[in-house]
Structure 1
Amino acid sequence: MRNLIVAFLFLVAVLPFAGSASAQDDEVSVGVLKFGTVSWLLDTIQHYKLDEKAGVKLDMLPLASNQATAVGLQGGSVDIIATDWLWVSRERAGGSDFTFSPFTTALGAIMVPPDSPIQTLGDLKGKTLGIAGGPLDKSWLLIVAYAKRTANIDLRTETRQVFGAPPLLSEKAIQGELDAVLNYWPYAARLEAKGFKDLIGLEDVVEELGAKGEVSMVGFVFSEDWAEDNPKAIKGFLEAAAEANELLATSDEAWERLRPMMKAEDQATFEALRRRYREGIPERTTAQNEADAKVLYRFLRELGGERLVGPSEQLAPGTFWIGKGS
């Protein structure tokens, strides 16, 4: 009987620690678009167990839309989402404590068909231009600012604009219903694989507008309070993300594994997506990105007004995460 009691007490003592080592890890839940490019990075983290290596346990929650990810973060059902610093600044101006850590510098581009006579922004006069998103899309407004500065034209009045969802606009461009299309980088890559030409990329635009280098517009967004309460979690997650990006920057094998997720219908599309993703891996410091974001914010506020950026005259303080793990 005494031996049975000792055995029972031993089991009571060890059972809370049984299961897996991840019980000691900090869990991080990330809300992500199921077919978004961020999911490529997160899947790489999980497959190579980079989260465990960094002392965290990654929980990836696929969601249906950008709005759903934002609601998930605001409601506390996820710890981290991927979105742009403009959204973060607007939320902070309204009293929230969300903050931003860079994920990618990859941006969109204006693409034209292979046989298009359009060679400059000035050639867009009178043409039909497809634009992903709406009239307040940040890429569109930055292009507008660039065109006014470099070509002395206002694309809002000099072109016929068709706003819509990225895949629909790409299809219309392929069918010849649009003279040019401004689309997000994954769709620009797919058009490139079909022979479309890059009229101008947003990377060139932001440099002309005063940025000192490539700007990370999209990043990982989370609550500042949560990060300060969970320093190991945010540090471990960002370390795992950086290591995954290093792997994706150098390993073709890692990309072959991702091919089914990428929905690349042919080798040209696969290679274009891989190249553009790699080009977008951030190499600059958070402070450098923040400095350039402040420059671009002025143009976005001028052209988009309060409907786009919110009430703040400047990028809200704290928009970029400078805490532990940044």
Structure 2
Amino acid sequence: MRNMLFWCRRSVLVALVCVGLIPPLGARAAETVRVGVLKFGTVNWELDTIKHHKIGEKHGVDVDVRFFAGEDATSVALMAGEVDFIVSDWLWVSRQRASGEDLTMFPYSTSVGALMVPSESPIKSLADLKGKKIGVAGGPIDKSWLLLQGLARKEKTGDLAADNDIAYGAPPLLAEKAQQGELDAVLNFWHYCARLEAAGFRRLVSANDAAEALGASGPVSALGYIFHESWAKAHPDAIAGFMAASAEAKALLGSSDEEWLRLAPIIKADGQALTVLRDRYREGIPNRAIEDEEKDAAALYAVLADLGGEKLVGSSKTLMPGTYWRAK
């Protein structure tokens, strides 16, 4: 299956070259694209793969990686024109478009968080959580947390936020507290969940499970590469080249175990932890048509707008047109 996915992506790249959407190799000079990321974020695994194997140059782009201390800083840098791309979620893109900005995105990853419990825990379902202490990364209006609340509401198993002792906190702190036995369950970002899994925890339910139960037909890319539509229209070769480089890097990470061994010092994991991170990353490689992603995102948007209100989605009650990039 993984090999098939690799060759399918490669065939797509070849087809794009043939129809002229991506100019052939060597047909254009490399154009610099500036990507703003967190210094220790998982996006670096893909970007390092692009840089190490000179995949960007192959597709006519020079990827200039710029590091920031936090997500807010990357957002400010994008809005100020200091970088061309950042990675964030489709909800933020839609909210910005509703405010008049021309941001858009293409999918980066469908990997999302999950509720994790110790392997020996008696908790087997959402219904078993009542009265428990749950750690939640991302805050009270985190998408994954809201989707899980929506699932509990649909299954009529209670109100997760009201029926439990909720501890909001930073992802590494919550992961540590979970391992120390201070939490009955923890909802964390996907890579912290993978490390917990390697340490003997098990998934109770993931945000993707909740999303599909609430109307999505498949995994929706929680994160995407975000950029200004006006910039993309002014730099068609750069956007096409960067998209192609991203797809090729993902194909390599999806097929080569050796590449993960090379990345181990950057990931700061080895053994079982590296294996689980690799496998969970691969599960999150987007492989659906943009049209399907957008349709499902619109369905989930309605659910999230109901659960999170204006604090989450802003003034728009529906996903804004243009949230997902389509080259003209």
TM-score higher than 0.5 here? yes
Q: Once the 2 structures are TM-superposed, how far is the Cα of residue 24 of structure 1 from its aligned partner?
A: 2.6
1:5 is aligned to none
- Is the counterpart of residue 34 in structure 1 residue 39 in structure 2? yes
The residue type paired with residue 269 of structure 1 is A
Which of these residues, 302, 308, 325, is aligned with residue 306 of structure 2? 302
Which of these residues, 158, 179, 201, is aligned with residue 196 of structure 1? 201
Instruction: Please identify, of 119-128 and 143-152, the stretch whose mean Cα deviation from structure 2 is larger.
Output: 143-152
Q: Is the 8 A contact 1:31 1:81 kept in 2?
A: yes
1:271 is aligned to 275
Unaligned runs of 5+ in 2: 1-25
Q: Once the 2 structures are TM-superposed, how far is the Cα of residue 151 of structure 1 from its aligned partner?
A: 3.6
Q: Is the 8 A contact 1:97 1:225 kept in 2?
A: yes
Which of these residues, 303, 306, 320, is aligned with residue 316 of structure 1? 320
Q: Is the 8 A contact 2:126 2:157 kept in 1?
A: no
The residue type paired with residue 37 of structure 2 is V
Alpha-carbon distance in 2 for matches of 1:24, 1:220:
23
Alpha-carbon distance in 1 for matches of 2:150, 2:134:
16
Q: Secondary structure at the match of 1:92?
A: helix
The residue type paired with residue 206 of structure 1 is A
Q: Secondary structure at the match of 1:307?
A: helix
Q: Once the 2 structures are TM-superposed, how far is the Cα of residue 152 of structure 1 from its aligned partner?
A: 3.4
- CA displacement, residues 159-197 of structure 1 (integer Å, 9 cap, x when unaligned): 110001100000000111100000110000000001001
- Is the counterpart of residue 260 in structure 1 residue 265 in structure 2? yes
- Is the counterpart of residue 205 in structure 1 residue 227 in structure 2? no
User: 1:242–1:323: structure 2 CA closer, same or farther, 3 Å change rule?
Assistant: same
1:13 is aligned to none
- CA displacement, residues 227-247 of structure 1 (integer Å, 9 cap, x when unaligned): 000000000000000000000
Which of these residues, 240, 252, 257, is aligned with residue 245 of structure 2? 240
Alpha-carbon distance in 2 for matches of 1:41, 1:171:
26
1:162 is aligned to 167
Alpha-carbon distance in 2 for matches of 1:250, 1:306:
42
Q: Is the 8 A contact 1:51 1:58 kept in 2?
A: yes
The residue type paired with residue 218 of structure 2 is G
Q: Is the 8 A contact 1:31 1:72 kept in 2?
A: yes
The residue type paired with residue 85 of structure 1 is W
Alpha-carbon distance in 2 for matches of 1:100, 1:159:
36
Q: Secondary structure at the match of 1:24?
A: coil
Q: Secondary structure at the match of 2:317?
A: coil
Alpha-carbon distance in 1 for matches of 2:267, 2:126:
31
* Superposition pairs of residues 1-326 of structure 1, within 5 angstroms: 24-264=29-269, 266-324=270-328
Q: Is the 8 A contact 1:22 1:56 kept in 2?
A: no
Q: Is the 8 A contact 2:28 2:60 kept in 1?
A: no
Q: Secondary structure at the match of 1:221?
A: strand
How many residue pairs are counted as aligned between the two chains?
303
Q: Is the 8 A contact 1:22 1:57 kept in 2?
A: no
Q: Is the 8 A contact 2:215 2:299 kept in 1?
A: yes
Alpha-carbon distance in 1 for matches of 2:77, 2:198:
35
The residue type paired with residue 189 of structure 2 is Y
TM-score of the pair, normalised by structure 2: 0.91
Q: Is the 8 A contact 2:33 2:61 kept in 1?
A: yes
Alpha-carbon distance in 2 for matches of 1:257, 1:64:
25
- CA displacement, residues 53-93 of structure 1 (integer Å, 9 cap, x when unaligned): 00111101111111111011011000000000000011111
Aligned identity (percent) is 54
The residue type paired with residue 283 of structure 1 is N
Alpha-carbon distance in 2 for matches of 1:46, 1:22:
20
Q: Is the 8 A contact 1:93 1:311 kept in 2?
A: yes
Alpha-carbon distance in 1 for matches of 2:208, 2:125:
16
> Segments of 4+ in structure 1 off by > 2 A?
21-24
Q: Is the 8 A contact 1:28 1:79 kept in 2?
A: yes
Q: Is the 8 A contact 2:36 2:85 kept in 1?
A: yes
The residue type paired with residue 216 of structure 2 is A
Q: Once the 2 structures are TM-superposed, how far is the Cα of residue 254 of structure 1 from its aligned partner?
A: 1.1
The residue type paired with residue 146 of structure 1 is L
Q: Is the 8 A contact 2:115 2:205 kept in 1?
A: yes
TM-score of the pair, normalised by structure 1: 0.91
Q: Secondary structure at the match of 1:78?
A: coil
Alpha-carbon distance in 2 for matches of 1:22, 1:162:
54
